[in-house]
Amino acid sequence: MGVVLVTEKIAETGLQLLRDAGHEVDVRLGLSPGDLVDAVAGADAIIIRSATKVTGEVLDAGKNLAVVGRAGIGLDNVDVEHATARGVMVVNAPQSNILSAAEHTIGLMIAQARNIPQSHMALVGGSWERSKWEGVELYGKTLGIIGLGHVGALVAQRALALGMSLIAYDPYVTAERAKRMSVQLTSLEDLMAQADFVVIHLPKTKETMGLVDAELLAKAKPGIRIVNAARGGIIDEDALYEAIKSGHVGGAALDVFAEEPATSSPLLSLPNVVVTPHLGASTVEAQDKAGVTIAEQVILALAGELVPFAVNLAAGALPESARPFLPLAVSLGRFLACLHEGLPGSLEIEYQGTLAKEMGGGTSVLTLAALKGVFAAGTEEPVSYVNVSQLAEDRGLEVRETTTTATRDFVSLITLRSGEHSVAGTLSGPRTEPRIVMVDDHIVEVPPSPNMLVVRNDDRPGMIGIVGTIIGDAEVSISSMAVGPSVKGGTALMVLSTGAAVTPTTLAALRASSGILDVHQILLEG
């Protein structure tokens, strides 16, 4: 039995579960950072919400600490990497608020369609304004769902019951899965052009930040109404304000904003915008579920049993020599997903050389790491080493792994292949630094970095200059570059690391240049 330190308020039912399991529950609310370091010293587990910062210092002070439990989804306040190195499990409650979030989305959509908040305020202010606040029905309208994960799927069920037609954009969902939900998959541009209402259910990543921008809004169906109860920043709020003010967008309902509190947002001045202060998870039931779920996860972790919502992998699960390959496998998975701009149809992972020998055939942990990278950027659902296998099964991703102790050019090599793309990496030098050494069967050597570009071009003089000039004109620096010609001749591949992510305008300029065959943006963080 262990000591569980609880630093923020969670449901009493969760606390009682811990006590019933025989653990000592030490509730200390409002601890200062210094007091937290002192308090964690004798704890076997710590349960937090969003306010407590579990830093490396806190983790080091918790000599007996086995698990950190976050009663909610976000983990920005936990140093997960340091916890992993220390062998401390980190768990959360990712599904505790999905029903609440889905219901809030439907509520916002109805409120926006029928002007409920505006007419309420007019009436309590003494004005009876029936004609001013005429609304529209949802029945027969087309709902576009951007992100068809857990919350998006729940919204789809409820919208279907309201008689709406459903279309969705989600490159990580197969057409078969969407069809089972009575949803038709389409491109993002076509979704905006067809939908009467749009709801957003995406994670906040580099790829999704500012996704709904002025250019996309300009392509939208006139009168479209947009609902965002996912994450702030996915919509360019200045562009949305201008689109609503011009009349092209019929209105919006927002629960989240790029900057919160959002009391000064210009969107608040528009009469056809409905807003709430980030209430998607603010229900009695969601808070109770979060407390109960995190208590259950902590109990399992302290008992040494399988923990469904573990978000990291204890370092001890890998041989010492193989641990540095864990982040490399994640990067390779994410690299491949970016090449596909979505989910590949199949995935083959090959381990070669000393790594395969030392793993003794037990490479499944590294395969989970690669899958974690594949799914990291493209789904609203939390991605962990525990749930990626189920995600792959749900999305119809066929995964196969092979090992061989023989390798021609490298001591150890990890190669990921799909039907269309491939990428390989290794660790190099005395500091065992990661290197990308092959992309789409072109031999290259470049360290993975947060912002990269893969450019396939005609193999002729001047192509490096063309690419460098376009990127330079965009005032983006190139920190490294590797060039690999095709073994068949005729084409070459450039892999570049840039100081910042290039804009869609720069990508379009590259793709439009003579001799450029295709361009992929690779974002390995976010």
Closest CA to 413 of 355, 346, 482: 355
| Residue tagged active-site, from 49, 70, 231, 421 | 231
The pairing of strands 491-498 and 451-458 is antiparallel
Give the whole-angstrom CA distance, residue 372 versus residue 182. 28
Give the whole-angstrom CA distance, residue 422 versus residue 170. 22
Alpha helices in 23-97 (DSSP H): 33-39, 56-61, 80-86
State yes or no: is 150 an active-site residue: no
| Residue tagged active-site, from 23, 70, 278, 417 | 278
| Residue tagged active-site, from 176, 260, 398, 420 | 260
- The CA–CA distances, whole Å, from 335 to 170, 479, 487 equal 18, 18, 22
Largest distance between two CA atoms of the chain: 82
The three-state secondary structure class of 22 is coil
Q: Hey, CA dihedral for 227, 104, 391, 234, is it positive or negative? A: positive
State yes or no: is 260 an active-site residue: yes
Give the whole-angstrom CA distance, residue 350 versus residue 402. 5
CB 367 within 8 A of CB 348: no
Half-sphere exposure of residue 243, counting CA atoms within 13 Å on the CB side? 27
State yes or no: is 24 an active-site residue: no
Q: Which residues are catalytic?
A: 231, 260, 278
